[in-house]
Structure 1
Amino acid sequence: MTVPAFETIFAVPMTCQSCVKDIEGSLQQLSGINKVTANLQDQLVSIQGTAAPSAIVDAIQSTGRDAILRGSGRSNSAAVCILESHASHVENKVRGLVRMVEVAPSLTIVDLSIRGLSPGTYHATVRESGNISEGPESTGGIWEALTAKKESRPCRGIFGTVEVGKGGVGAVFLDRPIQIWEMIGRSIVVARQQDGKVGGDYVRVFDQD
């Protein structure tokens, strides 16, 4: 799928005009950057173009500053999901965040970061239900899994995988053909097994704003 030009907004700590120049200079070296606008007062950097958010973050971090995806400049275009551990056997306290920003009709950027899990490959899936009273078991099946199977097309509820390293930290940028409003009232499960059945380290989503 050809990605149209879109706007993403990042929160970046900046103290002076030199900070702005450093960031703009680093971003202009990326392909797919059409326009960079930095707001020193609000500590925000707006980027228009087709560059991947992961590349943008890397470019900003190369200047010694952090960058957090905040939105797309349009109302009702962003959602945030808080990840917390549910499995009693997970020794470390698991914490994570899924930021979703709709950058074009039916195209949403997913920024998932997590820490506290044991090393390995984990699957992130959107579930039919937002009921987390019993953890992953009460969230239902993977969203649209049956419909996608009948129509022989990719399942939109399968977000992708995230690799967790030895330090227990994992992060990934993905793009999915979804709209933010479709996520409201659902949940996200991050587990070793894609179906989220017993046998993995579970993470659940509490809120989608």
Structure 2
Amino acid sequence: MSLPELVTEFMVDMKCEGCVNSVTDKLETVQGVKSIEADLSNQVVRIRGSSPVKTLEEALVQTGLTARLIGQGLPDDFLVSAAVAEFKGPDIFGVVRLAQANMELARIEANFSGLPPGKHGFSINEYGDLTRGPASTGKMYSPPIQGSETEPLGDLGTLEADETGEAYYSGSKKMLKIVDLIGRAIVLYGSDDKSDSGLAAAVIARSAGVGENYKKLCTCDGTTIWEAKPDFVASKV
């Protein structure tokens, strides 16, 4: 399924025009990339297109330059254009990224590790109360919206973990407004049955849109939360 088009920003350790050319040449080969803007003075690369973040990260790794995702969205279009929920362990690590593509559509991408192999549902729940883990996050988010889909708005579908416990998801959701999700929670379930108690939960926090995060900080607690793992930086190994 093709993802909605967005601008994705990376901080890339570019030291010269040769680095700029290397990054640009590589990204131009990625399917879904529409345009690339490399700002050497700020070491920022802006990519417009429908390519998943994971695909863009993998392309940047191949240039040999370190890179860090710092923002996503559409410039000047929304009050809150991006949000993230970070799962910090001790067993399950991951991040769910949400970005407003237009007023009727949000883009969703998720990366997880440490999951039991198999299918896992995930959803947006009403409350960001993690005192009892998933059990204290309330019901699945389901506001009454005229013309919305038959399933609850907070139903994000199902992802599948491989034999190593890693899972990746990308998709979109109609009628989902990022601004209404801040402070709620994303819950990950033990199977594709979302009626179980849930494996883990994380609070949804506002994250940087385009041009907002050159210092790599999240506005909620001053930490970088764009990465799928606590120590992740895209770099060649």
TM category (shorter chain) comes to 0.7 to 0.9
Indicate the residue corresponding to 1:162 in structure 2: 159
Distance in 2 (alpha carbons) for counterparts of 1:69 and 1:174: 20
Alpha-carbon distance, 1:204 to partner: 0.8
Q: Say whether the 8 Å CA contact 1:137–1:197 is kept in structure 2.
A: no
The alignment partner of 1:138 has SS state of: coil
32-41 or 49-58: bigger deviation: 49-58
Residues 34, 49 of structure 1: 8 Å contact kept: yes
Aligned pairs for 1:79-118 within 5 A: 79-85=83-89, 93-118=91-116
1:143 aligned onto 2:147: no
Code of the residue aligned with 1:139 in structure 2: it is: T
For 2:190 and 2:136, how far apart are their aligned partners in 1? 17
Gaps of 5+ in 1: 86-91
Structure 2 residues without counterparts, runs of 5 or longer: 207-237
TM-score (norm 2): 0.69
Check the 8 A contact 1:94/1:117 in 2, yes or no. Answer: yes
Contact residue 84 and residue 203 of structure 1 kept, 8 A = no
What is the number of residues matched between the two proteins?
A: 199
Tell whether the 8 Å contact from 1:124 to 1:190 is kept in structure 2 after alignment. Answer: yes
Residues 143-172 of structure 1: CA deviation (Å, up to 9, x unaligned): 118x58x97624331213233233333232
How high is the TM-score relative to the length of structure 1? Answer: 0.77
Question: 1: CA distance between counterparts of 2:165 and 2:4?
Answer: 35
Secondary structure at 2:153's aligned position in 1? coil
State how far apart, in whole Å, the 2-side matches of 1:184 and 1:174 are.
Answer: 19
Identity %: 26
2:186 and 2:204 in contact (8 A); partners too: no
RMSD: 3.1
Q: Name the structure 2 match of 1:77.
A: 81
Q: Which residue of 2 aligns with 1:183?
A: 181
SS at match of 2:134: helix
The amino acid across from 2:162 in the alignment is G
Higher relative contact order (CA 8 A, sep 6+): 2
Q: In 2, Cα distance between the equivalents of 1:172 and 1:41?
A: 34
